[in-house]
Amino acid sequence: MRIVCRCEDVTYDEVIKAIREGYTDIESLKRKLNIGMGPCRGRICIPIVIKILARELGKKPEEVGYPRERPPITPLPLGIFASGDNDEKKG
């Protein structure tokens, strides 16, 4: 068994199955399989899934594209939200 997304335990076979079921863009795969939703926010799995998707569709990875960035663009420590401080933290 080859794991594609360690955070969500998504396997290579699950990605292939979803593509063959008609999930043929990165956004729909992300929603179907929860890739990119774990602690790494897709930094590890999204590039892998893009390569798999491109190969299955006979396209180049850059033709497949990346998912839309949604705030927060970078992972934030939960303490920022729990502190009750309304000032933006820098660091």
8 Å CB contact between 44 and 82: no
Query: How do residues 6-64 score in pLDDT, each as one tens digit?
Result: 999 999 999 999 999 999 999 999 999 999 888 888 889 999 999 999 999 999 999 98
Query: How do residues 25-37 score in pLDDT, each as one tens digit?
Result: 999 999 999 998 8
Average pLDDT over residues 83-91: 58
Task: Please tell me the pTM assigned to this model.
Answer: 0.72
> Under CATH, what is the fold of the domain 3-82?
Arc Repressor Mutant, subunit A (1.10.10)
Residues belonging to the chain: 91
Q: Which two tokens stand for residue 55?
A: 């190969």
Element (H, E) at 11: strand 10-11
